[in-house]
């Protein structure tokens, strides 16, 4: 098990991405089958890695790795059910980016790492709501990326049935809206619980100046503005898609920030790739 490294699932995902891209422009079924096999192999390797190393979910390393694993699994399921065949062209770069960021963070010192088995009940709810919010925002960003490409195809009046095969503009916009509608309450719950924990146990936690706390606050404020634009000013289409992508980028930046928690909650050794 300890021989499974980032290279195993990173390379699998990269190969899957290349095959997904090739399958979009070729009619060979084996390309899609190959892509799914590599995608599945990558997800399996990453599952084993996570099970063996049990990285801390509250650390940037653990969060990014866990988040990328979830995205990879859900997009594999979506591809297998053949609902959105082109989704992995957009989702796989996100997975690869998250894995790369995790690898980058993993090589640094593990700041504020807390193992899930040590976490308290509120921490679990806090983490779960933030992970779910990230997942939905991630899918919103993928749908937004697809929306922008579809809108570009239509603006250029491309030939129907050629190029990247995407769902209709209406369907993609509906997914972006759904992601906004689901992400905001989850994010709010996560932030409120986090704030409560910080308030009640300020002595032990990192305090309000914690980079991750500040980053999450900025993300929540940004998302509040997005929700306000969406529901009050009826912002839609390309602008909404762009705003969701910006929010997702903020989320990734925020996730990569350290949680400067007290030393007694740290793991004895940092998880290394």
Judged by CB under 8 A, which of 26, 77, 168, 272 binds other proteins? 168
Look up tokens 């706390």; give the residue: 213
User: How far is the C-alpha of 260 from the C-alpha of 60, rounded, in Å?
Assistant: 11
User: How far is the C-alpha of 204 from the C-alpha of 200, rounded, in Å?
Assistant: 9
Judged by CB under 8 A, which of 3, 81, 121, 155 binds other proteins? 155
Q: Applying CB under 8 A, does 3 fall inside the site for other proteins?
A: no
User: Residue 175 Cβ, how far from other proteins at the closest point, in Å?
Assistant: 10
Whether the Cβ atoms of residue 169 and residue 154 lie closer than 8 Å to each other: yes
Q: Applying CB under 8 A, does 33 fall inside the site for other proteins?
A: no
Q: Applying CB under 8 A, does 178 fall inside the site for other proteins?
A: no
User: Residue 177 Cβ, how far from other proteins at the closest point, in Å?
Assistant: 11
Stretch that binds other proteins, among 47-55, 88-96, 156-164, 185-193 (CB under 8 A): 156-164
Look up tokens 């709010």; give the residue: 188
Residue 205 φ then ψ, to 5°: -85, 175
Give the three-class secondary structure for 118: helix
Helices (H), the chain: 6-25, 29-53, 60-80, 87-106, 121-155, 169-200, 211-231, 237-256
Judged by CB under 8 A, which of 3, 82, 109, 159 binds other proteins? 159
User: Residue 160 Cβ, how far from other proteins at the closest point, in Å?
Assistant: 4
Q: Applying CB under 8 A, does 228 fall inside the site for other proteins?
A: no
Stretch that binds other proteins, among 80-88, 127-135, 210-218, 232-240 (CB under 8 A): 232-240
Give the three-class secondary structure for 1: coil
User: How far is the C-alpha of 196 from the C-alpha of 221, rounded, in Å?
Assistant: 17
Stretch that binds other proteins, among 41-49, 119-127, 145-153, 201-209 (CB under 8 A): 145-153
Question: Count residues contacting other proteins (CB under 8 A)?
Answer: 21
Q: Applying CB under 8 A, does 153 fall inside the site for other proteins?
A: yes
Judged by CB under 8 A, which of 15, 171, 178, 260 binds other proteins? 171
* Listed residue (250, 256, 248) closest to 91, CA to CA: 248
Q: Applying CB under 8 A, does 2 fall inside the site for other proteins?
A: no
Q: For the chain, how big is the Rg over CA atoms in Å?
A: 19
In the complex, which residues of this chain contact other proteins (CB under 8 A)?
A: 27, 150-157, 159-161, 167-171, 174, 236-238
């Amino acid at each position: 098990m300890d021989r499974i490294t980032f290279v195993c699932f990173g390379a699998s995902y990269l190969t899957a991405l290349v095959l997904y891209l090739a399958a979009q422009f070729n009619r060979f079924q084996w390309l899609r089958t190959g892509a799914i096999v590599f995608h599945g192999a990558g997800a399996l390797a990453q599952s084993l890695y996570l099970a063996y190393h049990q990285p801390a979910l509250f650390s940037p390393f653990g969060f990014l790795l866990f988040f990328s694993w979830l995205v990879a699994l859900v997009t594999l399921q979506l591809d297998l059910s053949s609902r959105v065949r082109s989704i992995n062209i957009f989702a796989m770069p996100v997975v690869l980016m998250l894995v790369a960021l995790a690898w980058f963070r993993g090589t640094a010192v593990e700041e504020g790492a807390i193992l899930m088995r040590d976490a308290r009940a509120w921490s679990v709810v806090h983490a779960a709501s933030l992970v779910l919010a990230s997942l939905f925002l991630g899918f919103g960003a993928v749908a937004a990326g697809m929306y922008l490409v579809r809108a570009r195809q239509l603006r250029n009046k491309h030939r129907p049935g050629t190029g990247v095969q995407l769902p209709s503009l209406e369907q993609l916009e509906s997914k972006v809206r759904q992601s906004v509608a689901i992400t905001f309450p989850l994010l709010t719950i996560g932030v409120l619980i986090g704030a409560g924990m910080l308030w009640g146990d300020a002595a032990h936690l990192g305090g309000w100046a914690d980079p991750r706390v500040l980053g999450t606050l900025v993300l929540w404020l940004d998302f509040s503005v997005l929700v306000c634009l969406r529901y009050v000013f009826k912002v839609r289409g390309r602008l909404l898609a762009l705003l969701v992508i910006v929010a997702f980028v903020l989320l990734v930046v925020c996730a990569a920030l350290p949680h400067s928690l007290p030393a007694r909650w740290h793991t004895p050794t940092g998880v290394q790739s």
